[in-house]
Structure 1
């Protein structure tokens, strides 16, 4: 079943909490989480701030009980009240007990009404086990609660902890197995751009068994791109069908019930961002800097892992005319709190401005479109499907490696993968080689303006 409720953390927040909640003395410890929320039908809390309760402030700490001062809850309320944020009370079970105890239940019955009296938002409680696994519940004002279906942590590795894991004791699935397929059936992937690299990416995600795949692309099928967009036909080009409409019609035949949802909207729109926010992982398969910028900011805002795919064919002048200099593909894996696409120079303020100006100038825009895949060659129907599929496959495998690790080396070594086919060479860049800049967007959720961009303000709804 697809998760209805999710709690998401950065890898840094999770590591901080684990170190604090398990200091090595075998006794319980506590922290308070201040959470933003993702807009939309799915209830998804994002941990924005962590308030550790000092061990020596607790009046009682044993291996199965804990008493700590309410001043730390008051501190969290002060931090959350102005923005109407949620509060989650988190403590540890060093003995590994995989459920809320009767003492936990009694404590929540006493404390939750006080939190609701101060802030009318979504609040809850949670427990961390020594393995790092977190389970929890979200309360309503009447004292009822709903279990958190999924706790996700995005870092060099991707962690998904499910509520029903507690009852079954299931270990993480192994890559490429039916168990992996079973977990993917509960996750949502978002693909931005259903064209050259996007259609083979989406095709793989559908065949792998993702429970829901959201495709975002406002463009229409044309005759010139039939040679590189999967599942498109001559009739689709004749009819001017949207790329997502065509993909959805074919993909939803793979299963008994529809699961691919296509949105024919521009990425610079609120609708696109709202749809993206419902995902568990985002694949950026676009050819514009501004679309990449939106995906980059959304990953930080909604604590989503992002995989950005790009290809290129630089050329060189020879005595006999234009020749291929290289055939390249680039796959960047970006996690919230790590280096962004902007930090890595994939786009810059200058490139964003130049792109915006070019689109306002018909002549400049036409020149950019003519440039196409191959530098200096205004070919509208390049034969690049083999290159696109190589890059798309590498992007999907990057997700699998993060969620179901199979590499011999740590995933941090593969923040960027770049292949050069002319040289038959592949190079990898470690996350530490990029310098991340702090961002106020991290876990900002539904805060307005959305993604910190006034153009996505509520008035655009």
Structure 2
């Protein structure tokens, strides 16, 4: 849920008289490869006659009817939420089980989705469970591993039966002494994805390992080339031809810093089904890409699935006689609920997204005709600048999860020539932002984010991995060549923008 919804629920449910209270809320599903998430979009608070408070609390039939009618009208799942006057992750009482057992078949019959039960403790700690149909007239509890609250910060409530607190040895004593064991236990249990394992992504992976993160996902279809060796952390001539994700995974395991380390290395694009679903399993994502299409996909993931994305970019140019650098700047920012999206921040445009999808950015003749200030013609970065950008992105990450003194970073940009860091940027979207309009839509929007990626397929075919799962490729059913592909890409994106009441600059 978003921070705004968390505040409104907490204010209603945690009572000064220490009695229990309740309400119904509504969710959309977000389905990853290994995880299903209920994204809470709206709450319907009870009116005076809708529930009975008597130490415990019960709801009246009319309140349930209002909730089911609204859920059916808007294609929502239903969340039943109540409070307990005790701190921490809550178990269920006999009364709780009876109430949710009664709700499970009724909600499933009306909405087609499982009812989600949630409890908030007196200290604001959340617990949650799905009620899954396992046989005729039989519904069983499926406890959730986590409840995530996303906004300016990222707060994760862990079910310690499923996600127990990790143990740390002396090798992390200095890290823990900086922010204490409680924060370290929370940070280390996060699942963090890195999209793009080039010069910036590889440094971020190193930093996350040494911060104690145990669960990492690497998504990048590229292989190591000779031209990467001056910027790719720890890569050498013998590594040319390897997938970047595999190389970094093996390298980090060789460090042998965390015994519980789990790294998923996927040679796919974030726009492909395998890459997208892996990203939806994560609590937070790092965007280390420099092309508009994956940025558009990551932007959509951040808002439609409540998964914050930390993005960054580097822009450099030499002077006219190539005697020195003309300008260099790098920018880092976090996007997601209650923050500005990448499009409103100017990190990509819809026209550039459709241009990349059309395949023209792989056409050297087309690229030659683009203006010098087009993003395709921007200068390459160097290792020192990648190191600085990675540091700024890690600062964004630590600020979000540690929340020191309640201060949150907005976007920051470093000007190398003058040594200035600019932080005077907007941190909220425009009113008619089409990305913001997809907030919490989950699976109903995720299908829009999928695109075939010929270069990713070509890279995998070149390596010829016999055990690699095949990716279903959309059949364009066209006989008119690239022009039909361009039209198809434009039509798909134009429909998205039109449906969202946004604008499409063609």
TM range (shorter): 0.7 to 0.9
Q: Find the counterpart in structure 1 of residue 132 from structure 2.
A: 140
1:403 corresponding residue in structure 2:
401
- Pair 1:198 & 2:201 matched: yes
Q: Check if 1:450 corresponds to 2:442.
A: no
In 1: Cα distance, 2:79 partner to 2:281 partner? 21
Q: Deviations over 1:24-59 (max 9, x none)?
A: 565433222222223235343233432323241234
Q: Give the RMSD, CA atoms, in angstroms.
A: 3.5
Partners of 2:254 and 2:163 lie apart in 1 by 35
Structure 2 CA distance for aligned equivalents of residues 88 and 183 of structure 1: 25
How does 1:319-358 map onto structure 2 within 5 Å?
Answer: 323-356=324-357, 358=360
State the partner residue of 1:4: none
SS of 1:197's equivalent in the other structure is helix
Q: Which residue of 2 is the match for residue 5 of structure 1?
A: none
Q: 2:58 aligns with which of 49, 52, 67?
A: 67
**Number of residue pairs aligned between Structure 1 and Structure 2:** 437
Q: For the residues of structure 1 that align with 2:352 and 2:163, how far apart are their CA atoms?
A: 51
Given the alignment, which residue of 101, 104, 109 partners 1:109?
Answer: 101
Query: Is the CA contact 1:315–1:374 (under 8 Å) kept in the aligned structure 2?
Result: no
Contact kept, 8 Å, 2:299 with 2:342, in 1: the verdict is yes
Q: Is 1:88 paired with 2:79?
A: yes
Q: For residues 450 and 83 of structure 2, what CA distance do their matches in structure 1 show?
A: 41
Quick one: structure 1 residues 95 and 454, their matched pair in 2 at CA, closer, same or farther if it must change by over 3 Å? closer
3-state SS of paired residue (1:100): coil
1:57 is paired with a residue whose SS is helix
Residue deviations 1:62-113 (CA, integer Å, cap 9, x gap):
4x32122233433443444588753220022356584433322232233323
Cα deviation for residue 391 of structure 1 reads 0.8
CA distance in 2 between partners of 1:274 and 1:93 (Å): 35
1:46/1:303 contact within 8 Å kept: no
- Match in the other structure for 2:290: 287
Change (3 A) 1:70 1:253: farther
Aligned 1:175-194 pairs, distance under 5 A = 176-177=179-180, 179-194=182-197
Question: Paired residue for 2:417, among 417, 422, 425?
Answer: 422
The equivalent of 2:247 in structure 1 is 246
Residue 66 to residue 446, structure 1, CA distance change in 2 (3 Å): same
Larger helix fraction of residues:
2
Instruction: Tell me which moved more, 123-132 or 357-366.
Output: 357-366
Aligned residue among 427, 430, 438 for 1:435 = 430
Query: 2:36 aligned with 1:36, yes or no?
Result: no
Within the alignment, does 1:19 sit opposite 2:15 as a pair?
Answer: no
Structure 1's 71 and 229: CA in aligned 2 closer, same or farther, altered over 3 A?
farther
Compute the TM-score of the two structures, normalised by the length of structure 2: 0.76
SS of the residue 1:252 aligns to: helix
User: Contact between 2:165 and 2:185, CA under 8 Å: does it hold in 1?
Assistant: no
* Larger CA deviation: 282-291 vs 14-23: 14-23
**Aligned CA distance change for structure 1 residues 433 and 51 (closer, same or farther; 3 Å):** closer
Q: 1:225 to 1:350 in 2, by over 3 A?
A: same
Unaligned regions of 5+ residues in structure 1, if any?
A: 1-8
Q: Which moved more, 1:209-218 or 1:134-143?
A: 134-143
